[in-house]
Structure 1
Amino acid sequence: MTLSVDQLAEARVALDAPLYADVAGDIDVSFEFFPPKTEKMEETLWRSIATLAPLAPRFVSVTYGAGGSTRERTHATVARIARDTAIPAAAHLTCVEATREEIDSVAQEYWAAGVRHIVALRGDPPVQGARYAAHPGGYENAAALVAGLRRLHPFEISVAAYPECHPDSGDATVDLDNLKRKIDAGAGRAITQFFFEPETFFRFRDAAAKAGIAAEIVPGIMPVSNFAAVQRMSAMCGTDVPAWMGRLFEGLDDLPDARQLVAATLTAELCRKLYAGGVKQFHFYTLNRAELSYAICHLLGLRARFATKVEAA
């Protein structure tokens, strides 16, 4: 078999390139956790934070359940991160099933605990599948919540963005208009829902810029440790799961270690392609599992910058 000149040139490029081209750690990362429900889950959470802290994340955020179902646990977790670690802590705050006064009170408690960063969200209805309705006397949406937080204190405020359109939005234009209202109300950053192909983010970023949105847009990255679970989450939030991804995870249901290896490689490659398109900030949805996110960051060239120790409660 004789190779053409073009094929020879292509082969030379492939041979000269390293087996894995990392991005030399030229990125910033942040991590998202959920508040623990049990003592064992709390130990797992703090081990995860201790594992990821040496990567010097820009911040770590803690989620907040619908209707305040995790309000106290979220507050305790965020307050402890702010108190016992050097990592900037961000608290999620939603509009669901609370008056403005109640939400303002929670925000005041965060400020008193030293928390300066809020992830302001409309939130989902407490009953899955129900239609969202603003609480009487509450903030009607995330833009109103952002404006309310701005009146209280000079919080750093992040909001959510949806590259594939929020399920409740009529279309992408309506969705972008909503994002712009949140930014105009005082948010300084948008963190996206997870997605699985770089072009999805690039198209959204271009559309946001065309709509006059100049704030930082950070891609939300979901490492796929459990493909079936990610399929369920994707169906709820309108995220497309490519057919090729199903093929990659096929036959790995009973091989968790193999799934982790595939997930780390796949997610690192997604981040590398995003980096090639100018992205240098990434927000990882950890699901409170540190090793996978740490492996992905390692593949991207990030290394521990210091040692840390966070004791379990």
Structure 2
Amino acid sequence: MPIHTLYPAERGNLHLSFEYFPPKNDDMETQLFETVDKLSAFSPAFVTVTYGAGGSTKSRSLTTVCRMIKETGLANTAAHLTCVGATKAEVDAVVDEFASCGVRHFVALRGDPQGGIGTRYEPTPGGYDNAAALVAGIRAKGDFEISVSAYPEKHPESADVAADIDMLKRKVDNGATRALTQFFFDNNDFERYLERVRRAGISIPIVPGILPINNFAQMRKFAGLCGARVPDAITTRLSHLDEQPEERFKEATHIAAEQIVDLARRGVRDFHLYTMNRSPLITAVCDLVGFERAPVAQPKRHEGAAA
């Protein structure tokens, strides 16, 4: 069996989750919910919807999350929440808004500095100072599931990985129940990070974030902003395929599938996939790995219908 495909026994107890972002217009909304519908076939454990810094997409995020819960059957839809550019009272009001439409799971993030990535972060006067404080604020509001971020290659603003792990521990001590990692491409980096996290006494699930590469140039830009390293092997496999979309798609599918399979064989059971609100590549990756799809409901036959 190819290296990027799991044996049936190896797929036992594996769980998927997907990240989406709120649409900016009607066409993007249509695309998003078509994607949600198609990827729901893989029975995700949960899905998440992002939230702009300073609440810049709050209204769209709220609308999207509520629709997912009420119309798609994805009851465990998690709402991202940041504390940038808002007071504690304003953030708490947003928590209440999401909770009123059925949200029981938040992804608590500090958020990017208001001046943009690369500028100095300044806590908002009267607001939560950081993600650990935000977790404590959400926990005080109710018995929510709270996911947080983790950085196998460290956050760009952190002095080192140890500082990142210290912040993760503070978030866990304040009530975080899961960590979703920034995307990475070298599984050895993740394994070393996980070993250090466990030595620090952190026992919550650390779920690897997987980014199937729809657009190589865009991915490199994202990686540069968040401090993720792009191995030379991936550059070699994809950089020459810009004018060959079918070959690029096939290669990108294999890269992501190989990463997931290798992690699964190292004992990882949960995977968080960044969808970019598109289903074809995510579907291809999941199919290649061997994740099962939920059976499609067959239309009922009327009595007396012709055989």
Large movers: runs of 4+ above 4 Å:
17-20
Alignment correspondent of 1:226: 215
Check if 1:280 corresponds to 2:269: yes
Q: How does 1:59-74 map to 2 (within 5 A)?
A: 59-74=46-61
Q: How does 1:1-313 map to 2 (within 5 A)?
A: 17=1, 21-24=5-8, 25-26=11-12, 27-87=14-74, 88-128=76-116, 129-307=118-296
* Counterpart secondary structure, 1:148: helix
* Counterpart secondary structure, 2:148: strand
Q: Which runs of no fewer than 5 residues in structure 1 stay unpaired? A: 1-16, 309-313
The answer to whether the 8 Å contact 2:18/2:272 transfers is: yes
* Counterpart secondary structure, 1:270: helix
Q: Deviations over 1:172-194 (max 9, x none)?
A: 11110000000110000000000
- Report the TM-score when normalising by structure 2: 0.92
Q: Which runs of no fewer than 5 residues in structure 2 stay unpaired? A: 298-307
- Report the TM-score when normalising by structure 1: 0.91
Deviates more, 1:128-137 or 1:70-79: 128-137
The answer to whether the 8 Å contact 2:83/2:91 transfers is: yes
Letter in 2 for 1:22: L
Shift in alpha-carbon separation, 1:238–1:302, aligned structure 2, 3 A = same
Partners of 2:190 and 2:215 in 1: CA distance:
22
Identical amino acids, percent of aligned pairs? 47
* Counterpart secondary structure, 2:247: helix
The answer to whether the 8 Å contact 2:185/2:259 transfers is: yes
Q: CA deviation at 1:126?
A: 2.9
Q: CA deviation at 1:90?
A: 0.4
Q: CA deviation at 1:18?
A: 5.2
Q: CA deviation at 1:94?
A: 0.2
Letter in 1 for 2:83: C
Shift in alpha-carbon separation, 1:307–1:97, aligned structure 2, 3 A = farther
Q: CA deviation at 1:20?
A: 5.3
The answer to whether the 8 Å contact 2:37/2:72 transfers is: no
Q: CA deviation at 1:23?
A: 4.3
Partners of 2:288 and 2:280 in 1: CA distance:
12
Shift in alpha-carbon separation, 1:151–1:256, aligned structure 2, 3 A = same
Letter in 1 for 2:287: H
Partners of 1:307 and 1:56 in 2: CA distance:
12
Q: Deviations over 1:25-46 (max 9, x none)?
A: 4311000001000111111000
Shift in alpha-carbon separation, 1:61–1:18, aligned structure 2, 3 A = closer
Shift in alpha-carbon separation, 1:105–1:254, aligned structure 2, 3 A = same
The answer to whether the 8 Å contact 1:143/1:181 transfers is: yes
Letter in 2 for 1:67: G
* Counterpart secondary structure, 2:85: coil
Alignment correspondent of 2:304: none
